[in-house]
Structure 1
């Protein structure tokens, strides 16, 4: 299957400026493309994987990637529908640019005939004076057309600064500069960028007479209406292991709704069409097995964090529920797994019953005692019947952790901090 057919089957092309012209340009070979990321935080999150992995697919098909991390546009911020963005200092943005570049690099190949190129729009924007920008760029844009952009219309009542209003000009100039400097003739991005991207296509045509291409991927929405990429607590699932542990990243995909996982497989997996369709069928026939979720979690965790880290988090997932050796888990993996499940602090004399209550496994000390009598209380995967005593220090994992389990499904942890 060629790349355009593959992207179409996966549902990754929502809109295109000229589908047939794009197909012809891709078939002709030698096409260079770009996709941009603004450093509005120190890390990308899973929502950005749509663009990162689409770039990987295009490169594998023989197109040359240009990955733009916006040191200039990151200081401005694309308008949001809700409110004006806070402006971060140039130094902060520069630091975030380097971190995000480092996150993107492992996904692409920077050697060979189709080697990826990392670019920063600060390189051509910082040296442009205001008069030149207004004459060479601003002259080509209609204010009435810019106002009709959906996000701008939404902000007109509450107010929008000229700074954010001008963002479209900066992004459009990026396409022109990349076309002139590197011969880039395709841009893609998320569907929320359609107005900016088509403005760039038009600006290139007006500036140098060249016809360039663009397409946008759909925004990823969850079946329950909540925003894709959010954790149960409402935070982002980050690509940085410092902000989201590999275990939490793995669990994000494991916990994907059955209604969503088929879409996620098509967007994010590099498995073949046949393999994906088999997993889709397995989800319909045996949803409790969560085969699609497990396959996707393994593939993406390996891709982002490496095979060894993925093996550790898989072992932790099994061991926490009594299907593996807890003592063999590396301490960082164990701690991140317990933090995800719910990790309470405990003192040296804290009883098992109190730990279970503090960690939220039971609602009261009496409930802990009843569960123990029924044989449903486990500490580090060993059944415990006496819950009115503290855990012996030699029983703690890595000298400080206790995995608290009630029955087969309810798990949390305690960290003994005062021994």
Structure 2
């Protein structure tokens, strides 16, 4: 099966849960609504005739991340109801960047932003159907901002914005109260996003914009602008910022975002991220990030309560989301790698990409063939000293590529190398490290 065929099959299998009376009810149950314009009107809109809606994604990096995945899945759920999504990738807003709470963004070059626009458009299109009367349409706000002069922009759009209101926006006020301050460039971002909604309203009769709740000020800048210029109502939905049960920001791994691009976050790393979700968080993750039904999720909630040691919910979550993002083959590779690393499979069967992704999660020692294993254990951080390494081997707790070591003078042989360059060290059942041999 080709990647395109598999993606079509994944999309075809997705369903909204018909045990809910309305889509709005399901979105609320899944925890996808933090703030919105008129909830009653939105519920009626969802149940009515097909309408156009959108979400914007700025190319401030070469890949989308888990926060963006929340929006993509919300767009997909609304599309499954029969409505028409627009995926906006911001070729103009990406040149500026929305204000961060702490510091000014570094502006990327036009060529870089253009390249990232193309990459993000490809990612957006993978999660939404391009078939049928409500096929996704990709748009780029550079198309309508580039031809507009600064004078025309100020006269036609800027005059509808009040500085006092703009200053009250959360991101703006946070920056004004910081040592960094805020530039006029980032201060103007909300005007550009409001203009986007107005333009899409005019071109496509777009009635709804979604985004993270931290973007609420930018979302309502569009609804306000449409009301002032066109005298009509439009809607906005702000999804909650997802956090862990301990209050930390979700989707961060040692300070790095969990990206949707396999080159920036390997399928193995991605799978392990979901597999390691806490019991207190996993059910909420199933609601937001999977298309499992309410009945299925409630059954997993029972299993978490009664048999948490089985981690059935985490395994299903990791399977579903990794397959959604990376496909079934990469997901199976991640599962195989996880099993093999901990001695329940054959490391030699892992392809180079999967093995490299898995070892990327481990402390790794650089080596040459012929190096003593005890020295590699020290270099890789498995033990603090050569003496400790020898004692661990004597106790039968050290493995090279899942083969138990019996002699403490064993060296790394060419035959030990996986794909001619890697080896896996394990101490006990769960403590792992990698060895990498430089190639000529």
TM bin, normalised by shorter chain, reads over 0.9
In the other structure, the counterpart of 2:332 is 311
Q: CA deviation at 1:101?
A: 0.8
In the other structure, the counterpart of 1:371 is 392
1:48 to 39, 43, 68: 68
In the other structure, the counterpart of 2:274 is 253
Q: Is the 8 A contact 2:276 2:314 kept in 1?
A: yes
2:263 to 231, 242, 252: 242
Correspondences of 1:348-387 after superposition (within 5 Å): 348-387=369-408
In the other structure, the counterpart of 2:15 is none
Residue 211 of structure 2 aligns to a residue in which SS?
A: strand
User: Which residues of structure 2 form unaligned runs of 5+?
Assistant: 1-19
Q: Is the 8 A contact 2:46 2:81 kept in 1?
A: no
Correspondences of 1:206-217 after superposition (within 5 Å): 206-217=228-239
Q: For the residues of structure 2 that align with 1:185 and 1:205, how far apart are their CA atoms? A: 12
Q: For the residues of structure 1 that align with 2:238 and 2:251, how far apart are their CA atoms? A: 19
Q: CA deviation at 1:96?
A: 0.7
In the other structure, the counterpart of 1:104 is 124
Are the structure 2 counterparts of residues 170 and 311 from structure 1 closer, same or farther at C-alpha, using a change threshold of 3 Å? same
Correspondences of 1:145-164 after superposition (within 5 Å): 145-157=165-177, 158=179, 159-164=181-186
Q: For the residues of structure 1 that align with 2:204 and 2:393, how far apart are their CA atoms? A: 68
In the other structure, the counterpart of 1:72 is 92
Provide Cα deviations, 1:137-182, integer angstroms capped at 9, x if missing partner: 1111111111111221122243211111111110001001001101
Query: Quick check: 1:19 aligned with 2:36?
Result: no
Correspondences of 1:387-406 after superposition (within 5 Å): 387-406=408-427
Q: For the residues of structure 2 that align with 1:178 and 1:108, how far apart are their CA atoms? A: 19
Q: For the residues of structure 1 that align with 2:331 and 2:123, how far apart are their CA atoms? A: 17
Q: CA deviation at 1:108?
A: 0.7
Correspondences of 1:171-250 after superposition (within 5 Å): 171-231=193-253, 233-250=254-271
Q: CA deviation at 1:226?
A: 2.6
1:167 to 166, 184, 189: 189
Q: Is the 8 A contact 1:138 1:169 kept in 2?
A: yes
In the other structure, the counterpart of 1:299 is 320
Q: CA deviation at 1:50?
A: 0.6
Q: For the residues of structure 2 that align with 1:387 and 1:266, how far apart are their CA atoms? A: 50
1:264 to 285, 305, 313: 285
Q: CA deviation at 1:414?
A: 0.8
Q: CA deviation at 1:332?
A: 1.4
Q: For the residues of structure 2 that align with 1:280 and 1:412, how far apart are their CA atoms? A: 34
Residue 340 of structure 1 aligns to a residue in which SS?
A: coil
Q: For the residues of structure 2 that align with 1:238 and 1:322, how far apart are their CA atoms? A: 28
Q: Is the 8 A contact 1:347 1:418 kept in 2?
A: no
2:138 to 105, 109, 118: 118
Q: For the residues of structure 1 that align with 2:322 and 2:34, how far apart are their CA atoms? A: 27
Q: Is the 8 A contact 1:185 1:212 kept in 2?
A: yes
Q: CA deviation at 1:130?
A: 1.4
Q: How many residues of Structure 1 are paired with residues of Structure 2 in the alignment?
A: 418
Q: CA deviation at 1:287?
A: 2.2
Residue 225 of structure 1 aligns to a residue in which SS?
A: coil
In the other structure, the counterpart of 1:92 is 112
Q: What is the Cα-based RMSD across aligned positions, in Å?
A: 1.3
Provide Cα deviations, 1:295-335, integer angstroms capped at 9, x if missing partner: 11111111111101111110000011111111111111112
In the other structure, the counterpart of 2:352 is 331
Q: For the residues of structure 1 that align with 2:69 and 2:137, how far apart are their CA atoms? A: 18
Residue 387 of structure 2 aligns to a residue in which SS?
A: helix
Residue 185 of structure 1 aligns to a residue in which SS?
A: strand
**TM-score normalised to the size of structure 1?**
0.97
Residue 220 of structure 1 aligns to a residue in which SS?
A: coil
Question: Which sits farther off after the overlay, 21-30 or 284-293?
Answer: 284-293
Q: For the residues of structure 1 that align with 2:392 and 2:399, how far apart are their CA atoms? A: 10
Q: Is the 8 A contact 1:348 1:417 kept in 2?
A: no
Residue 216 of structure 1 aligns to a residue in which SS?
A: strand
**TM-score normalised to the size of structure 2?**
0.92
